[in-house]
Structure 1
Amino acid sequence: MIKLELIVQVHQLKKQGFKVAAIARKCNLSRTTVYEYLEMDFEEACRWVNELRTREKKLDPYKNQILSWLKEHPDLSASQVSDWLEERCSFTNVGDSTVRSYVRELRELYHIPKTISFRSYEALEELPKGKQTQVDFGEKKVRTTKNKWKKLYVIAFVLSHSRYKYAEWQEHPFTTRDVIRSHENAFEYFGGVTEEIVYDQDKLMIVSENGGDIIYTEEFQAYKQQRGFSVYLCRAADPESKGKIENVVKFIKNNFAKNRVFHQIESWNEQCLAWLDRKGNYQVHNTIKKRPIEVFTLEKLHLREVSYPLSFESNHGSSITRTVHKDNIIKYKSNRYSVPLGTYKPHGDNTVYIRIEQEKLIIQKTPEGVTVATHPLSTGVGQLIKNSDHTRDKSKGIKAYMDTVKESFDNSEEIELFLQEIHKRYPRYIRDQLQIIQRSLRDYGPFVEQALDTCINQRLWSANDLHDVSIHLAKLSEKEIPAVLRDIPLTEASSELIKEKASVRELDGYLRILGGA
């Protein structure tokens, strides 16, 4: 009967002007199935549904076995049934969806409801005015004006007493700084701050929680102290402790964002604020049976005023932030870009700042700080853009390598200066530079010290220059060798040797060896 109703719904949506893709999304069907349903008229659909009821099913030979399992274990899931069929009956020629449908039909036919364990709840007294704010995050895929899908991220706030709400969207995942900025905007929207704020155990704010001892991220700890509010942290796997904000996030995603077309983030946030005024904070709340805006008018008097904005607010708007993932990459426009190994800190702030210059992606630890990595900007999607120098941390190896090179020189101050300069000028090629110096020491050892003096005096800061000067000095030394030899006095034995003449073989001997006449 359910399939027949679904076929009728597909035909009705088609008559209303919906396209096949839209019908598939609304009915949670594949487009192929929608086409099949549209080709059926009502009588054909009825015959097909009846055939489904009477035809033999793949799992019918195992019906009694499955029934015995369900009767003995009413809480047995369809996934477990599928596993037991494979383990105990060696039957694998069936899909998971088929098992789910078959188990559901058996439960309905033989009245075997699934045993569900649930947690008991009790209604709580309403919190006093100005006592608590609840905060949570969400994400939603929306369609753009270019008919593409885009994921947006939202942070939502709700005052627990009045249910007065605030929400803020952005195009990239939230960082700690984004969270702090959103708090400031929410406090301005509410006109003050409550005594405590309820959070989930989110890594943007909380490093760890052990038996009530909470360690915050460094940036959020400083912000909490500056604003002076207390934090109530939900226990792990306990979303009900902040049920108000959970419902608010669902409300925002399914009432405001659903089926809305995205143009740009500024207009999207403007529309969200207008929706809050029109619907989110004006509609009568189902629990308190009042409009949040009316209750908020009284609660606002109990909020603690926030007298000044934070200093980072003025220059934060132009910065694009990203989070370093545990595999030491950041994500930007559906691609992954590497950062040096060790950039990710398991219990630290993994926020970095990015900017685009001349088709290059520049990654920095702070907006005006030292560059962490530079990559060519990729025009594709799903790509990993990786710098070969990011495969391992070479800082310790390079220092040890430089110390080894220094030991080969007598003048430690000069070689220290030279190495510092080439490291400054050739940071990416410092290992190659050190190898060239070692080659110079091996091939032209007696001349390298003098070559080092020349390079420093002439401000030639390159290992290649050191090598070339060493070669030049060696060649000059070779030209002086004959003059030196002339000055060496001949001994009596050597003078006698000079007077000796080499023996001369007769020509006939050579002819016999060569086979001549």
Structure 2
Amino acid sequence: MLRSQTVNTIHDLHQQGKTVQEIAQKLEISRTTVRKYLAHPEAVIPKPRPPRPSKLDPFKEQITRWVMEDHCINCEVIYARLQPMGYTGGISILKEFVHPLRPVVAGHAPVQRYETEPGHQVQFDWGEFTYEQEGIIHKFYGFTAVLGYSRMRFVTFVKRCDTPTLIRCLMEAFEYFGGLTRSALTDRMKSVLLEMQENKPRWNPRFADFMVSIGVTARVCKPYTPQTKGKVERTVSYVKQSFWAGVTFTDLDDLNRQAHRWCERINSRVHRTTHARPVDRLEVEKLQPLPQAFAWERFATEERKVTWDGYVSYDGVLYGLPGTLHLAGTTVQVRERKGVLTVWSQGQEVFAIEKRPRSQESVPHPEQWTGIPSASAIRRAGAPLGHQQQAPQVQSRALAEYDQYCGVSAGAEVGA
């Protein structure tokens, strides 16, 4: 097949009046070729080549499911998942295939970036993460925290997002970072801020006590301006796109182990904004030291009432307590730290057990009924007791005897 430039020259010479032989001699081609292109000008259009097989072909169906069903659009994540499945190609052809499948992103107005000094601020927020189990949709709450200067990120997943859980997640985040910042910025959530009264915040009492005790200033962003805490907003979105989409796990503990490994990888990569690794910039943060002993641990406890059959409920799981403790019907303090559930009563640690990650589970204690009498014995022992005795015997007397005893005669009574 001739090039289009040569074919154009053939038609140009023919319009100038040149013969077929003259055109063939000038272009050094055969007369048959000249006649062919003069008779069929469309022959210059090349036929499309059949598509060549790609290393990505065996995986395109799986990639489409990840993008369309799990909404995983991060090519780096998809690329990492394909490699254990046998994919040996590059990431460029992967990006070319995924790009048309991505949803259209609406534009937004630019926002000025707000940077903070080292050790000054941590931003935290919640996100809802849905998952499917046996065809039923459930959800976890993902707690995300990011240091403003170094961009160190921390993620953990829990079953609830109340104030005690928020405080526990903040404690885990500060421990992961290795210290405290001078301030913390978040949304106007009820677990942090109850309301604004005359432009003055009325903080959640438990949250306020925690922040004051550890010396961290609490701040909330203005209403309807999530851009104020854009670092954590972007992190929540990044967690959903890069970690959550298509993730598989057996239980909550397994999920959090995967999340911890993911944080280690992300914090070791060069950040696109700072052009440095967060783990390297963390050394410049110079965070304040963590409180020790009771000043720190007391905020990780929650009050629970022990049922009359000796169970204490925590995160949807019933834990049986030893019967020798005699805690049925009393209020105890429960603390979850690093996978261990500890029960305190009157300031003393009385019981500890490994936390179960699955809800709707009951964990009886082997000695739960040791020393506990049966219900029938308790009823017998506590039932009021009365006493029956024989009635006294009364002697029968004639009425005249009573008259004589009283000094009254029968005749006097008649005369009167």
- TM-score normalised by L of structure 2: 0.50
State the structure with bigger RCO (CA 8 A, min sep 6), 1 or 2. 2
Flag the structure with higher helix content. 1
Flag the structure with higher strand content. 2
Q: Which has the larger radius of gyration?
A: 2
- TM-score normalised by L of structure 1: 0.41
